[in-house]
Chains A and B, each alone.
Chain A
Amino acid sequence: QMQLQESGPGLVKPSETLSLTCSVSGGSISSSSYYWTWIRQPPGKGLEWIGSVYYTGGTYYNPSLKSRVTISEDSSKNQFSLNVRSVTAADTALYYCAREEFDSSSSWFDPWGQGTLVTVSS
């Protein structure tokens, strides 16, 4: 059974770059049936879709974050990553990675990682 695990610094200074990695176990990231996704949740608030990457490196992003976000994949390490540039306190959130699996007519988001809290503060 596939499992996802987020990792990265829990504290980032304002104006710097937030960098997280999602390690995938129990299966290959290089599957044509999956997109790899980042989602975040500010403390006490709702969910926000950040973006996704395909194993070919193709990406799509939330338009409101697109100018500051890069999502990439590393098939050699079976992981994918998130970079958010020029962070502010508004980027403080629990960051989740998830797999979007799709077939000819549908897609679904499962599994999810447990989430990692990133705080932006000096």
Chain B
Amino acid sequence: QAVVTQEPSLTVSPGGTVTLTCGSSTEAVTSGHYPYWFQQKPGQAPRSLIYNTNNRHSWTPARFSGSLLGGKAALTLSGAQPEDEADYYCLLSYSGPYVFGTGTKVTVL
């Protein structure tokens, strides 16, 4: 089974930009993995932010965007807000089974 790796932690200044990545141990990440991104705040269930690489939900702030970057999936936060401090998880599809990434803790400081 693939291991999906994310940066353990990242820090961004308020108003700044940060990019989180999501890599697979077995192959380059492509649109065929339908990359998903979730945000989880302490004591809460995860919330879907991005699906199918770069699709936002109606509740996803426009400052979040998804892409593919250098063989990985990426989540870019542009114009970080204090309320964006959270854990972020990617999820990849492997033609049926899914694998979550290891998670990234984003600090806005």
Partner of B45, one of A61, A62, A106, A115: A115
Q: How far is the CB of B12 from chain A (nearest CB, A)?
A: 21
Residues of A within 8 A of B (CB): 39, 46-49, 60-64, 96, 105-110, 112-115
Chain A residues, CB < 8 A from B48: 108-110
Give the number of residue pairs across the A-B interface with Cβ within 8 Å.
59
Residues of B within 8 A of A (CB): 1, 34, 36, 38, 40, 45-48, 51-52, 55, 57, 89, 91, 96-103
Q: How far is the CB of A44 from chain B (nearest CB, A)?
A: 11
Instruction: Report the bound CA distance from A44 to B96 in whole Å.
Output: 27
Contact A60/B36 with A96-B45, A106-B55, A109-B48 known, Cβ cut-off 8 Å: no
Partner of B98, one of A46, A49, A114: A49
Contact A62/B55 with A49-B91, A106-B34, A112-B47 known, Cβ cut-off 8 Å: no
Instruction: Report the bound CA distance from A56 to B102 in whole Å.
Output: 32
Chain A to chain B contacts (Cβ below 8 Å), 26 pairs:
A39-B100, A46-B102, A47-B40, A47-B89, A47-B100, A47-B103, A49-B91, A49-B98, A60-B96, A60-B97, A61-B97, A62-B1, A62-B98, A96-B45, A105-B52, A106-B52, A107-B34, A107-B51, A107-B52, A108-B48, A108-B51, A108-B57, A110-B57, A112-B45, A113-B45, A115-B45
